[in-house]
Protein backbone atom coordinates (compact mmCIF):
# COMPACT_ATOMS: atom_id res chain seq x y z
CA UNK A 1 0.00 0.00 0.00
CA UNK A 2 1.29 3.41 -0.96
CA UNK A 3 1.26 6.35 1.50
CA UNK A 4 -1.08 9.32 0.93
CA UNK A 5 1.87 11.68 0.63
CA UNK A 6 3.55 9.60 -2.07
CA UNK A 7 0.26 9.01 -3.87
CA UNK A 8 -0.27 12.79 -4.02
CA UNK A 9 3.29 13.34 -5.27
CA UNK A 10 2.90 10.74 -8.04
CA UNK A 11 -0.45 12.21 -9.04
CA UNK A 12 1.25 15.63 -9.26
CA UNK A 13 3.86 14.05 -11.53
CA UNK A 14 1.13 12.51 -13.71
CA UNK A 15 -0.22 16.06 -14.15
CA UNK A 16 3.30 17.29 -15.00
CA UNK A 17 3.77 14.51 -17.60
CA UNK A 18 0.43 15.34 -19.23
CA UNK A 19 1.40 19.02 -19.26
CA UNK A 20 4.69 18.07 -20.98
CA UNK A 21 2.71 16.01 -23.47
CA UNK A 22 0.59 19.08 -24.33
CA UNK A 23 3.69 21.28 -24.48
CA UNK A 24 5.32 19.04 -27.07
CA UNK A 25 2.11 18.67 -29.05
CA UNK A 26 1.80 22.46 -29.18
CA UNK A 27 5.43 22.69 -30.35
CA UNK A 28 4.70 20.03 -32.96
CA UNK A 29 1.83 22.13 -34.37
CA UNK A 30 4.06 25.21 -34.35
CA UNK A 31 6.80 23.50 -36.40
CA UNK A 32 4.32 21.87 -38.75
CA UNK A 33 2.96 25.32 -39.60
CA UNK A 34 6.53 26.31 -40.52
CA UNK A 35 6.73 23.34 -42.93
CA UNK A 36 9.20 21.45 -40.71
CA UNK A 37 7.26 18.19 -40.87
CA UNK A 38 10.13 15.97 -39.69
CA UNK A 39 10.66 17.95 -36.50
CA UNK A 40 6.90 18.18 -36.02
CA UNK A 41 6.75 14.37 -36.25
CA UNK A 42 9.62 14.02 -33.71
CA UNK A 43 7.74 16.27 -31.29
CA UNK A 44 4.47 14.42 -31.75
CA UNK A 45 6.29 11.20 -30.79
CA UNK A 46 7.78 13.05 -27.82
CA UNK A 47 4.28 14.13 -26.82
CA UNK A 48 3.02 10.53 -27.02
CA UNK A 49 5.96 9.39 -24.90
CA UNK A 50 5.06 11.84 -22.13
CA UNK A 51 1.50 10.56 -22.23
CA UNK A 52 2.86 7.02 -21.83
CA UNK A 53 4.91 8.14 -18.81
CA UNK A 54 1.74 9.44 -17.17
CA UNK A 55 -0.02 6.12 -17.89
CA UNK A 56 2.90 4.07 -16.51
CA UNK A 57 2.78 6.10 -13.29
CA UNK A 58 -1.00 5.65 -13.06
CA UNK A 59 -0.66 1.88 -13.61
CA UNK A 60 1.95 1.70 -10.86
CA UNK A 61 -0.23 3.67 -8.42
CA UNK A 62 -3.21 1.39 -9.09
CA UNK A 63 -1.05 -1.72 -8.72
CA UNK A 64 0.04 -0.44 -5.29
CA UNK A 65 -3.56 0.02 -4.16
CA UNK A 66 -3.59 3.77 -4.79
CA UNK A 67 -5.87 6.06 -6.77
CA UNK A 68 -4.61 7.64 -9.99
CA UNK A 69 -6.12 10.97 -10.99
CA UNK A 70 -6.42 12.97 -14.18
CA UNK A 71 -6.24 16.49 -12.77
CA UNK A 72 -6.60 19.91 -14.36
CA UNK A 73 -3.83 20.58 -16.88
CA UNK A 74 -2.68 24.21 -17.14
CA UNK A 75 -2.50 25.85 -20.55
CA UNK A 76 0.90 25.50 -22.29
CA UNK A 77 2.80 28.38 -23.93
CA UNK A 78 2.31 29.07 -27.63
CA UNK A 79 5.06 30.31 -29.94
CA UNK A 80 8.82 29.82 -29.45
CA UNK A 81 10.63 32.03 -31.93
CA UNK A 82 13.37 30.26 -33.86
CA UNK A 83 13.81 26.50 -34.14
CA UNK A 84 16.98 26.72 -32.03
CA UNK A 85 15.10 28.62 -29.31
CA UNK A 86 12.36 25.99 -29.36
CA UNK A 87 14.82 23.11 -28.85
CA UNK A 88 16.65 25.08 -26.15
CA UNK A 89 13.29 25.40 -24.43
CA UNK A 90 12.89 21.59 -24.64
CA UNK A 91 16.34 21.06 -23.10
CA UNK A 92 15.55 23.40 -20.20
CA UNK A 93 12.16 21.78 -19.71
CA UNK A 94 13.70 18.29 -19.55
CA UNK A 95 16.25 19.52 -16.94
CA UNK A 96 13.26 20.80 -14.92
CA UNK A 97 11.49 17.41 -15.26
CA UNK A 98 14.67 15.66 -14.05
CA UNK A 99 14.49 17.75 -10.87
CA UNK A 100 10.82 16.82 -10.39
CA UNK A 101 11.69 13.11 -10.70
CA UNK A 102 14.63 13.50 -8.28
CA UNK A 103 12.27 15.15 -5.82
CA UNK A 104 9.83 12.25 -6.22
CA UNK A 105 12.62 9.75 -5.46
CA UNK A 106 13.47 11.77 -2.34
CA UNK A 107 9.85 11.57 -1.13
CA UNK A 108 9.76 7.81 -1.78
CA UNK A 109 12.98 7.49 0.26
CA UNK A 110 11.50 9.57 3.11
CA UNK A 111 8.44 7.32 3.10
CA UNK A 112 10.75 4.27 3.11
CA UNK A 113 8.91 2.99 0.03
CA UNK A 114 11.50 0.83 -1.74
CA UNK A 115 9.13 -0.42 -4.46
CA UNK A 116 8.37 3.15 -5.56
CA UNK A 117 12.03 4.10 -5.51
CA UNK A 118 12.78 1.05 -7.66
CA UNK A 119 10.00 2.04 -10.07
CA UNK A 120 11.29 5.62 -10.28
CA UNK A 121 14.89 4.68 -11.15
CA UNK A 122 13.61 3.90 -14.64
CA UNK A 123 12.49 7.52 -14.96
CA UNK A 124 15.79 8.80 -13.54
CA UNK A 125 17.57 6.90 -16.34
CA UNK A 126 14.99 8.08 -18.89
CA UNK A 127 15.76 11.71 -17.98
CA UNK A 128 19.46 11.21 -18.73
CA UNK A 129 18.40 10.19 -22.26
CA UNK A 130 15.87 13.03 -22.59
CA UNK A 131 18.39 15.71 -21.61
CA UNK A 132 21.02 14.22 -23.89
CA UNK A 133 18.79 13.96 -26.97
CA UNK A 134 17.52 17.56 -26.59
CA UNK A 135 21.07 18.87 -26.08
CA UNK A 136 22.28 16.92 -29.10
CA UNK A 137 19.63 18.50 -31.35
CA UNK A 138 20.48 21.99 -30.01
CA UNK A 139 24.19 21.35 -30.74
CA UNK A 140 23.43 20.09 -34.25
CA UNK A 141 21.16 23.07 -34.98
CA UNK A 142 23.96 25.44 -33.96
CA UNK A 143 26.35 23.64 -36.31
CA UNK A 144 23.88 23.19 -39.13
CA UNK A 145 22.84 26.70 -40.18
CA UNK A 146 19.84 27.22 -42.47
CA UNK A 147 20.64 24.59 -45.12
CA UNK A 148 21.44 21.98 -42.46
CA UNK A 149 18.13 22.67 -40.79
CA UNK A 150 16.30 20.91 -43.62
CA UNK A 151 18.65 17.93 -43.42
CA UNK A 152 18.05 17.65 -39.67
CA UNK A 153 14.30 18.00 -40.26
CA UNK A 154 14.40 14.98 -42.56
CA UNK A 155 16.48 12.99 -40.06
CA UNK A 156 14.16 13.69 -37.11
CA UNK A 157 11.23 12.72 -39.30
CA UNK A 158 12.59 9.15 -39.30
CA UNK A 159 11.93 8.66 -35.58
MG1 LIG B 1 8.43 12.26 -19.17
Contact yes or no for 24/138 (Cβ under 8 A): no
At 146 the pLDDT is: 74
CA of 31 to the centre of ligand 1 (A): 21
Burial of 39 (0-12, 13-18, 19+ CB in 10 A): buried
State pLDDT tens for residues 28-77. 999 999 999 999 999 999 999 999 999 999 999 999 999 999 999 999 99
CA of 17 to the centre of ligand 1 (A): 5
**CA distances (Å), origin 30, targets 8, 83, 121, 130:** 33, 10, 33, 21
State pLDDT tens for residues 82-99. 999 999 999 999 999 999
Name the residue with higher pLDDT: 155 or 27.
27
Query: What are the boundaries of each domain within the chain?
Result: 4-156
At 144 the pLDDT is: 81
Segment 140-148 mean pLDDT: 83
CA of 61 to the centre of ligand 1 (A): 16
The pTM score is 0.93
Give the pLDDT band (50/70/90) at residue 152. confident
Q: Is the CATH number 1.20.1260.10 carried by domain 4-156?
A: yes
CA of 100 to the centre of ligand 1 (A): 10
Average pLDDT, the chain: 95
Amino acid sequence: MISDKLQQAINDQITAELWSSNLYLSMSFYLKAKGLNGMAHWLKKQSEEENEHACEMADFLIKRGGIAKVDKIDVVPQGWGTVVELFEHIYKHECHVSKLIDNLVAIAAEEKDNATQDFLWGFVREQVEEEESAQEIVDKLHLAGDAGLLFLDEKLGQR
